Amino acid sequence: MWLVKKFFIRSLSKFIGFMFARVDLPEPKLLSGPGSLKKLPALIQSKGVRRVLLVSDKGISSLGLIDPLVEALSKAGIGCTIYDDVRPNPTIANIDSGVEIYRANKCDGIIAFGGGSPMDCAKVINARISNPNKTVIQMQGGMKVSGPLSPMFAVPTTAGTGSECSLGAMVSDPESHAKFGVASPYLVPPCAVLDAELMVGLPPHITSSTGMDALTHAVESYIGNWASDYTNSHAEQAVKIILRDLEATYHDGSDMDRRQNLAMASHHAGLAFTRAMVGYVHAISHNLGGLYGVPHGLANAVILPLILDFCRQDCEVQLSKLAIVGGLGRNDESAKTLSVRFIDKIREMNRNMGIPTGIAQLQASDIPRLARQALAEAHPQYPVPRLMKQAECEDILQKLLIIGP
Ligand SMILES: NC(=O)c1ccc[n+]([C@@H]2O[C@H](COP(=O)([O-])OP(=O)(O)OC[C@H]3O[C@@H](n4cnc5c(N)ncnc54)[C@H](O)[C@@H]3O)[C@@H](O)[C@H]2O)c1
Ligand SMILES: [Fe+2]
């Protein structure tokens, strides 16, 4: 039975991968470097946009991070309406409110300003504006969004999700406790700003968890079956920077160069995973996010070493290459030694940045359902190196009940 199921999952995954490789995915035009946000109003003007909806969250607006931009937009004669009610793991209601405010204020463009939550929310608001007859639920999955969409400018303030260059957006449904994706090439923001000045105040625990999210994107894209030379080259650049700079930035977030490097690493990882996809770490993490609201990056950081233990033998060569890229070993060492060292390094980074080994909110009674949902999300669209059975997924979730330092 399992062999038949495996055959179907693998065949479908191959077919989806074959078709997806033929989709022309755009990449955002980048404004990059500390202070680069200052160039955004002129770029918005050049697109003929007259009034933007600025989508953010209260954490960011209360820090005053958006104030200089709002002032600069006003000086440039661009109207700006702020919607800063986006919640972490943004909800359908967040999107619907944003759509109403966009329409009521006759906006003609969107700025997504924040971490993955405001960026994903803004992407789906934009999709709904141009697809007025579809609800968010009806856009769930791939290729349900028609374009073109209104001009969008993504300003990530975490490093991060890579949402500024990805074709996806994750939405939570508080009613069903599900977290689902909307994916379309039209969702790739045409313009993005990578400005480290916005990230120097990022608290250590968000620096670490969002950095580990970016590392997970790079690793899952690299070990998956849809990886290409293009995605591998971006994933390698991300891994190199994150292994070198993340821990130091967690301990001292004020170094602008390191912050800029990490913003770029997150972008590289985004370019890799938007084409080569993610894997079981994300499948489990999305479901923990949907059910308990566990922060996405934190869940990924905790789950990543467990999934790599599970599939190490099936992606030993890829993990050993990443170990070398990350400066953890030499070419003449065995793939087994190097791949184990790479996983150990992830555990060490987690420990050094105060990331626990388990998920405090997880209830043992929820494990069978979480495993079922995670596998339904992963099969067949995540091209994982080793397929997982229900019992194996439950075993991994059981391990998350033990909260270590
Ligand atoms: N679309 C994609 O490709 C993609 C990829 C990965 C994750 N995601 C989604 O992104 C969401 C997570 O995004 P995230 O990890 O960036 O976190 P987030 O956007 O939820 O933000 C987390 C917290 O950090 C604060 N914050 C953000 N920037 C800050 C700054 N510069 N200074 C101080 N505080 C700041 C926010 O106010 C918030 O309280 C999840 O919903 C996840 O599923 C999307
Ligand atoms: Fe992620």
- Supply the CATH number for residue 247's domain: 1.20.1090.10
Residues 51 and 171 grouped into a single domain: yes
Q: Which ligand is nearest to the CA of 163?
A: 1
Tens of pLDDT along 268-299?
A: 999 999 999 999 999 999 999 999 999 999 99
Residues 188 and 235 grouped into a single domain: no
Establish if 405 belongs to a structural domain: no
> Which of 139, 198, 206 to probe ligand 1 with, by most ligand atoms within 8 A of CB?
206
CA of 267 to the centre of ligand 1 (A): 14
Q: For ligand 1, what atom is nearest to the CA of residue 274?
A: 3
> Which of 163, 198, 220, 268 to probe ligand 1 with, by most ligand atoms within 8 A of CB?
163
Taking CA atoms only, the protein residue closest to ligand 1 atom 20 is 88
- Between helix 335-352 and helix 316-325 the angle, nearest 10°, is 60
Taking CA atoms only, the protein residue closest to ligand 1 atom 7 is 161
Tens of pLDDT along 313-353?
A: 999 999 999 999 999 999 999 999 999 999 999 999 999 99
Residues 35 and 96 grouped into a single domain: yes
Q: Which residue ranges have their beta carbon within 6 Å of ligand 1?
A: 57, 59-60, 63, 88-89, 114-118, 120, 157-158, 160-163, 166, 168-170, 198-199, 201-202, 206, 210, 213, 289, 296-297
Instruction: Identify the DSSP state of 50.
Output: -
Residue 176, pLDDT score: 87
Residues 6+ apart with CB under 8 A from 290: 89, 172, 173, 177, 178, 179
Query: Of 151, 181, 198, which residue is a domain's last?
Result: 198
Mean pLDDT rounded to a whole number for the chain = 96
Cis peptide before 380 (omega within 30 of 0): yes
CA of 115 to the centre of ligand 1 (A): 3
CA of 12 to the centre of ligand 1 (A): 32
- Per DSSP, helices labelled H in 150-203 are none
Query: How far is it, in rounded angstroms, from Cα 51 to Cα 106?
Result: 7
Q: For ligand 1, what atom is nearest to the CA of residue 203?
A: 33
Residues 255 and 338 grouped into a single domain: yes
Domain count, the chain: 2
Tens of pLDDT along 383-393?
A: 999 999 999 99
Residues 211 and 332 grouped into a single domain: yes
Residues 175 and 219 grouped into a single domain: no
Query: How far is it, in rounded angstroms, from Cα 301 to Cα 280?
Result: 12
Tens of pLDDT along 127-155?
A: 999 999 999 999 999 889 999 999 999 99
Residues 37 and 97 grouped into a single domain: yes
Query: How far is it, in rounded angstroms, from Cα 159 to Cα 156?
Result: 7
Tens of pLDDT along 82-137?
A: 999 999 889 999 999 999 999 999 999 999 999 999 999 999 999 999 999 999 99
CA of 59 to the centre of ligand 2 (A): 20
Query: Of 169, 198, 227, which residue is a domain's last?
Result: 198
Establish if 15 belongs to a structural domain: no
Residues 348 and 254 grouped into a single domain: yes
Q: Which ligand is nearest to the CA of 170?
A: 1
Residues 218 and 191 grouped into a single domain: no
Question: Cβ-count burial of 91 within 10 angstroms (0-12 exposed, 13-18 middle, 19+ buried)?
Answer: buried
Q: What are phi and psi of 34, to 5 degrees?
A: -55, 130
Tens of pLDDT along 300-317?
A: 999 999 999 999 999 999
Tell me the CA distances in angstroms from 349 to 185, 211, 213, 237, 244, one per residue in order: 34, 11, 13, 18, 11
What is the residue type of 254? S
Establish if 4 belongs to a structural domain: no
What is the residue type of 367? I
Tens of pLDDT along 38-54?
A: 999 999 999 999 999 99
CA of 117 to the centre of ligand 1 (A): 5
Residue 220, pLDDT score: 98
Q: Which string of DSSP letters, residue by residue, matches 304-365?
A: HHHHHHHHGGGSHHHHHHHHHHTTS--TTS-HHHHHHHHHHHHHHHHHHTT--SS-TT--GG
Q: Which string of DSSP letters, residue by residue, matches 115-149?
A: SHHHHHHHHHHHHHHH-TT--TGGG-EES---SPP
Residues 144 and 92 grouped into a single domain: yes
Residues 65 and 38 grouped into a single domain: yes
Residues 358 and 247 grouped into a single domain: yes
Establish if 98 belongs to a structural domain: yes
Residue 405's pLDDT band, with cuts at 50, 70 and 90, is low
CA of 304 to the centre of ligand 2 (A): 11
Query: Of 178, 198, 218, which residue is a domain's last?
Result: 198
* Structural domain boundaries, residue 185: 29-198
Q: Quick check: 165 and 192 in contact, CB under 8 A?
A: yes
Residues 6+ apart with CB under 8 A from 121: 55, 86, 90, 94, 95, 98, 112, 169
Taking CA atoms only, the protein residue closest to ligand 1 atom 17 is 115
